[in-house]
Structures are given as structure tokens and as C-alpha cells.
A = this chain, B = another copy of it.
Amino acid sequence: MEITTTPFPSSKKIYVDGELHPIKVAMREITLTPTHLANGNIEENPPITVYDTSGAYTDPNITIDVRKGLPRLREQWILDRGDVEILDEVSSDFGKERLNDPKTQHLRFEYNHKPKVAKEGKNVSQLYYARQGIITPEMEYVAIRENQRIEQLQNAPKGLANQHPGNSFGANTPVGKITPEFVRSEIAAGRAIIPSNINHPECEPMIIGRNFLVKINANIGNSIVTSSIEEEVEKTVWACRWGADTIMDLSTGKNIHETREWIIRNSPVPIGTVPIYQALEKVNGIAENLTWEIFRDTLIEQAEQGVSYFTIHAGVRLKYIHLTAKRVTGIVSRGGSIMAKWCLYHHKENFLYTHFEEICEIMKKYDVAFSLGDGLRPGAIADANDEAQFSELETLGELTKIAWKHDVQTIIEGPGHIPMHLIKENMEKQLKECDEAPFYTLGPLTTDIAPGYDHITSAIGAAMIGWYGCAMLCYVTPKEHLGLPNKKDVKDGVITYKLAAHAADLAKGHPGAQYRDNVLSKARFEFRWVDQFNLALDPDTAREFHDETLPAEGAKIAHFCSMCGPKFCSMKITQEIRDVAEKGMKDMSEEFIKAGKEIYS
């Protein structure tokens, strides 16, 4: 199996120690070259630490063996809490069946870890702990992880720690420092979640909430038409490399149980799924044959593998379905359409809605979070913000309260296709209806007329809704509406969403968010080409684009680029202006002639 493990250029993995717990928080440090000042002096540029989702794959000191899976970072933290038991075998009927199926033997992950489950009467969710006042290692981990961007401002070169005050729509944006206690309080309030199934100890804790960095999710997964386990594992690692904060495995093809196992064991980020997809496979794709029992077994099966959040389309109520009939594109959510079909066929209420409390009981035993699905999201600009969509959102608000009653972590899924001027209403309504539970949207796409470029039509909406308060953005790749994304598409989608999320962080004014922009802009202005590449979200592409026109190594220290050439370089001229300005504005003319001749003869 081919897995990408190369570290980023001029980057190394660093680990920051916890204070409350014996934890080591992984980050990436980018080393910079010094600035050569006009007066001949050299000015050092301190390294910059950036948030790192790439996991052990970019640490050359860790040996990667996908057959064994990643190191089990959280294993001891979980066991130390003393509230889980280790099962002798998996609980789900389907899990047992697959384990003993000789036909899938060759596909099976060597399963040398027994599943964990909460002890009788225990709740192992981070929300439960938070409400008990407990700061878990997971909470401290994310606090350190998120706080680092603020911490490093203390060593910032002159002027570079400054940033524009934002205008976050969140009421509780922290100023100055993200503390473990702040993390705990946000989780306790339901405003943030740490997806952290006790059966995915390989996962590095991360937090989803609008008072933290905006996160992104990448969807992967095979379909009946194409793709293999190998491809999906590499897509996972690849997506994390470029910045995916969580991965959703949306497999609907063959062997999705085994595919998921490989993905989870090798994923440094939480995995989400839509269990109804697999449940439908179990009834051979016939939606009306779905039953609560089959679905329940699927939840347990996936919870014991380590899925950290489940998309549950419990808001697709029977009474809402007719509202979609006059839409231009009806129901476009796969899960939503499956449940709608089931409801219509049986003329019964959605069994996910009627069994919601039973689902909560399962979720809290493994700390699986709800991602309450928007099965009635609009699939076209024409259908945005309509009655079907908003009725479902109101039901999701009702379900959020039930989930919270059980101390189950909850996020809410959002659209979809929304023109720019209707985006804010989505965010405001979601916060109101769902009592500030984190919002997690797909885009939204701001126009329908650019298939092939929907990573961009949706990045516009994603950046805006991130600014308005959306906590996590589900990526869209260039292949959206057209085909299954390949590795290139996954990367394009992830980088596009990473920049959209960052644009949102800047607009919200997250402390320290602008530091990387400032450092990169300084490098750009000083013609430190290699630093500019290395500070970019995608160093490889930045370098490749530069080299396409000016491939020579010498060009990377040249004080100009191919766009303007040396004579027209505004940045070169500006340096001359700055030199003059620093000498004061009096006698400017004479000074400038002199300075100019000396510096650029």
C-alpha cells in the first residue's frame, strides 16, 4: 500500500507537553531563512508553528505500518478514567458475521484490539465529563493545540503580531489565551464538541466550535462504481496531510465494513459516517426494508470500530416530505431520500426520530457524537431557505435538546446551495433553533452554473458562513455533481476549504490567526521565495508554479519575479521608498538619489 509520508519542506514535527496531563501535543514548525537587510545586516526570522492535522505520517521518527495502524495515543487516557470495559468480542451481529466470513479474510485488518464500551450505567462522552467539571486530557490537548497560534505571538518580529480586530458573531470569543478550562466550559455549554470515540484511540483530539479555529471535513469513500480499500486509506492520509480536521467515510460500495476498519486504524483525525448507507447495503438497497433493528446493529458495529460521529437523518419527518415535491431538485441528500422513501412507503414516522432516545443510549456508551443530518437541504439555489429546509432545522433543534439531556455531543448539519444574501439567515436560525450547538455545513454553493468548479462556488459560501459562526465546513471537490473525487480532487478540495476556513478565522478575528499571513507577506515582500513557498498551505504547488516560468535556482533569490520582471518590480521600488522614509522625509530628494545609487547600482 502506497502511503504519503514525506515531511513538509523546512518543517519538523514538534511536541508540546501538557501541564495537567502527561500529553504531548503534535504541531508543525516551519523554519525560515534570515532577511538580508539593505545595510548588510542579517535579521533572523523566528520559526513559526502551525496547526497540524497530518498525524504521525510527517514525523520521520515514527515508523508507519498501515497493517498495524497508528500509535494508540489516547488508549491509556481512556483506560485511566476507569469507566470502560473491554469486550471479548464485538457486540454487533454484523460485526461478528464479517469477522468470521472467510470470503473477506484477505481484506481484513488484523484486528488485535478488543472493543471498549462504557461500563453499565456510565457515560463516557466528553460532554458528560465537561459537565462534571472534569478537564480531560482530550480537552487539554485541544487547548494547547489551539492556543499555540496565540502563544507564539510573544516571539513575533516587530509589527507582525498585529492583526485586524475581527467581528466574530460568537458571544464568547476568547481573548488572549485558550485555556483547558475554556475548552471544558464550551463543551459543557454544548457550543463545542471533541469527537473522540473511545474505540479510536489513534485519533489526535480536535475541537469543533465557533470559538475555536474553523475546521474542515473531507469526504472520502468508495462507491459501487469505483475505488478500493488501498485508495481510500491513502486518500485519508492524503486529506489529513493537506489539512482535513475530520474525515467522513461515505463508502457505499463493497466491503465497507473492512474499508472503514482500515481507515480508522490509520486515521489521525476523527472519522464520521452516515450509518444509514451501510444499513441500506444490508437490505440490498431496498429502503423500505430498513428496520430499526438493522440500523441499531449498524450503529453498534460502527461505534465499536471507532467512528466518532454519526450523521443521523432524524429530522426528515413524514410531515415534511411533501414540502419537497415542488422543489426544482427535490431531496438531494442520500440519507434524506432513503428515509423519505421509507416514511412514504410505510406511511409512518421516520424510525430515527421515533427511536432517537435509544440512539442516544448507544452514542453515550462510546462517545459517538451526533451530526444531525439535513436530509432536506436544498440541492439548488432555487430551493434555498425554503419551508422544507427550515422545518427540518427546527426539528434538529428539538433533537439537540434530547441529545444533550443524555450528555451526547451534538453538531448540526447545514446546506447546501444558498445564494450569498441568504447565507446569514441560515446561521442565525441554526444558532437560535439549536441553542448554539456547532453548525457544520456543506459549502454552501453560491451558484449552480459552474459544475467542475464547485469547490470554488462553495468555498465562497463556506468562507462566509464560517465568518458568521459555522464551526466546521464540509469540503466540496471539483468533481461534485460529476464524478468520484480522485487524489488530486481531494487535495484541491482540502486546500480550498483550508483557505476558506482561514479567511473566516481572519474575519472573526481569532487571536493570532493573522500571524501566518503576516509572516508570509513579509517573506513575499523580502523576496524570500523559498520561505513564501514553505509558508503556503500548499508549498509544492507554490514552488511548482514559480518554477514553471523561472526554474533556475538563482531565481529563488532574485529580487523580482516573472510577472513584472526586474524593472517593473513594485516591491523592489517600495524597498527603496522605505529606506528613504526611514531616513525621514526631509531632504528626501537628495537622500533618495544617494540611497538609490548605493543600494541598487
A496 to chain B, nearest CB (A): 6
Write out the residue numbers on chain B whose beta carbons fall within 8 Å of the beta carbon of A449: 499, 502, 516-517, 520, 535-537
Nearest to A339 among chain B residues (CB) is B573
A525 at the binding interface (Cβ < 8 Å): yes
Alpha-carbon distance A545/B541, docked complex (angstroms):
21
Q: State whether A545 and B478 are in contact (beta carbons under 8 Å apart), knowing that A226-B562, A340-B573, A459-B459 are contacts in the complex.
A: yes
B interface footprint on A176-207 (CB within 8 Å = 1, 0 otherwise):
00000000000000000000000000000000
A224 at the binding interface (Cβ < 8 Å): yes
Alpha-carbon distance A332/B568, docked complex (angstroms):
11
A538 at the binding interface (Cβ < 8 Å): yes
Which residues between 498 and 540 of chain A lie within 8 Å of chain B, taking CB atoms?
498-500, 502-504, 506-509, 514, 516-518, 520-522, 524-525, 532-533, 535-538
Q: Are A328 and B568 in contact (CB under 8 A)?
A: no
Alpha-carbon distance A435/B463, docked complex (angstroms):
31
Alpha-carbon distance A331/B581, docked complex (angstroms):
13
A136 to chain B, nearest CB (A): 31
A43 to chain B, nearest CB (A): 14
Q: State whether A332 and B564 are in contact (beta carbons under 8 Å apart), knowing that A449-B502, A499-B453, A549-B484 are contacts in the complex.
A: no
Which residues between 564 and 579 of chain A lie within 8 Å of chain B, taking CB atoms?
564-571, 573-578
A223 at the binding interface (Cβ < 8 Å): yes
Count this chain's copies in the assembly: 2
Stretch in A94-102, A232-240, A351-359, A586-594 touching the partner:
A586-594
A326 at the binding interface (Cβ < 8 Å): yes
Alpha-carbon distance A456/B461, docked complex (angstroms):
12
Q: Are B521 and A381 in contact (CB under 8 A)?
A: yes
Q: State whether A570 and B453 are in contact (beta carbons under 8 Å apart), knowing that A344-B592, A381-B521 are contacts in the complex.
A: no
Q: Are B588 and A347 in contact (CB under 8 A)?
A: yes
Alpha-carbon distance A162/B386, docked complex (angstroms):
13
Which residues between 371 and 396 of chain A lie within 8 Å of chain B, taking CB atoms?
379-382, 384-385
Alpha-carbon distance A271/B221, docked complex (angstroms):
48
Q: State whether A581 and B321 are in contact (beta carbons under 8 Å apart), knowing that A167-B421, A332-B574, A549-B483 are contacts in the complex.
A: yes
A422 at the binding interface (Cβ < 8 Å): yes
Q: Are A460 and B459 in contact (CB under 8 A)?
A: yes
Alpha-carbon distance A580/B347, docked complex (angstroms):
12
Write out the residue numbers on chain B whose beta carbons fall within 8 Å of the beta carbon of A333: 570
Q: Are B536 and A452 in contact (CB under 8 A)?
A: yes
Write out the residue numbers on chain B whose beta carbons fall within 8 Å of the beta carbon of A479: 545, 548-549, 563
A450 at the binding interface (Cβ < 8 Å): yes
**Interface size of A in residues (CB-CB distance below 8 Å):** 133
Q: Are A223 and B421 in contact (CB under 8 A)?
A: no
B interface footprint on A546-568 (CB within 8 Å = 1, 0 otherwise):
10111000000000011111111
Write out the residue numbers on chain B whose beta carbons fall within 8 Å of the beta carbon of A521: 328-329, 379-382, 417, 448
A294 at the binding interface (Cβ < 8 Å): no
A277 to chain B, nearest CB (A): 7
Q: State whether A536 and B419 are in contact (beta carbons under 8 Å apart), knowing that A252-B568, A280-B567, A517-B381 are contacts in the complex.
A: no
B interface footprint on A217-236 (CB within 8 Å = 1, 0 otherwise):
00000011110000000000
A334 at the binding interface (Cβ < 8 Å): yes
Q: Are A420 and B538 in contact (CB under 8 A)?
A: no
A219 to chain B, nearest CB (A): 10
Nearest to A338 among chain B residues (CB) is B573
Nearest to A342 among chain B residues (CB) is B573
Alpha-carbon distance A337/B575, docked complex (angstroms):
10
Partner of A164, one of B322, B332, B422, B525: B422
Alpha-carbon distance A385/B506, docked complex (angstroms):
14
Write out the residue numbers on chain B whose beta carbons fall within 8 Å of the beta carbon of A498: 450
Partner of A482, one of B332, B545, B582, B593: B545
Q: Are B518 and A380 in contact (CB under 8 A)?
A: yes
A153 at the binding interface (Cβ < 8 Å): no
Q: State whether A421 and B483 are in contact (beta carbons under 8 Å apart), knowing that A324-B577, A326-B159, A592-B344 are contacts in the complex.
A: no
A401 at the binding interface (Cβ < 8 Å): no
A10 to chain B, nearest CB (A): 15
Write out the residue numbers on chain B whose beta carbons fall within 8 Å of the beta carbon of A298: none
A362 at the binding interface (Cβ < 8 Å): no
Write out the residue numbers on chain B whose beta carbons fall within 8 Å of the beta carbon of A460: 459-460, 463-464, 500, 503
Known A224-B566, A478-B545; 8 more pairs at CB < 8 Å: A164-B385, A328-B518, A330-B577, A341-B573, A460-B500, A482-B549, A483-B562, A484-B562
Residue positions of A touching B, CB distance < 8 A: 159-160, 162-164, 166-167, 223-226, 252-253, 277, 280, 285, 287, 321-322, 324-326, 328-334, 336-338, 340-341, 344-347, 379-382, 384-385, 417, 419-422, 446-453, 455-457, 459-460, 463-464, 467, 478-479, 481-484, 486, 495-496, 498-500, 502-504, 506-509, 514, 516-518, 520-522, 524-525, 532-533, 535-538, 541-542, 544-546, 548-550, 561-571, 573-578, 580-582, 585, 588-589, 592-593, 596
Would you list 23 pairs from A and B whose C-beta atoms are within 8 A, ordered by A residue? Answer: A159-B328, A159-B382, A224-B568, A225-B550, A277-B568, A328-B521, A330-B578, A331-B577, A337-B573, A338-B568, A340-B574, A344-B577, A345-B593, A380-B517, A382-B518, A421-B507, A448-B520, A449-B537, A450-B502, A453-B538, A481-B561, A482-B549, A484-B549
